Amino acid sequence: MPDDTAAQARHVFVYGTLRRGDDNDITRLLPAPRWVGNAMIPGTMYHFGRYPGVTLGGASEVVGEVYEISEELERVLDEIEEVYPQQTNEYAKRFVDVDLHGKPLRCIVYEIHPGRVAGRPCIASGDWVRDR
């Protein structure tokens, strides 16, 4: 019987407080994720005080980390980002292809609602850890 583990693998691109060493460090959550690598995606990062938000697309890039996650951890992340069960509409779960080592990898990205960025300062470097 073929191993379909790779087909079932889920990945997430984290760019803010879920990055390693930050307030919601994904590596401290359970079930533990598997680090895949550093990456960048097209987007613009905004400062919301204690956390950032990213709108996808455009010419700027956002720095982040990619992890392989379980369905259980995905549910935990949805709760942290309030896309489930609270559904505050601050973030939406999106799926984007992230270039990782020259190959596209489909990843979950939590995108800030574009209507919430008005008046928020932009983090031009796209790197929350470095320039918050």
| Average pLDDT for the chain | 92
Which sequence spans correspond to the domains of the chain? 8-127
Question: Residue 88: which pLDDT band, with cuts at 50, 70 and 90?
Answer: confident
Q: Tell whether the model's pLDDT for residue 130 goes beyond 80.
A: yes
- Assigned CATH for 8-127: 3.10.490.10
87's torsion region: left (phi>0), alpha (psi -120 to 50) or beta? left
Neighbours of 61 (CB within 10 A): 16
Q: What is the largest CA-CA distance in the chain?
A: 55
Q: Please state the rounded mean pLDDT for residues 6-33.
A: 92
CA distance 76 to 120: 27
Structure confidence at residue 3 (pLDDT): 42
Q: 99-109, pLDDT tens digit by residue? A: 998 999 999 99
User: Which pair of structure tokens corresponds to residue 104?
Assistant: 């596209």
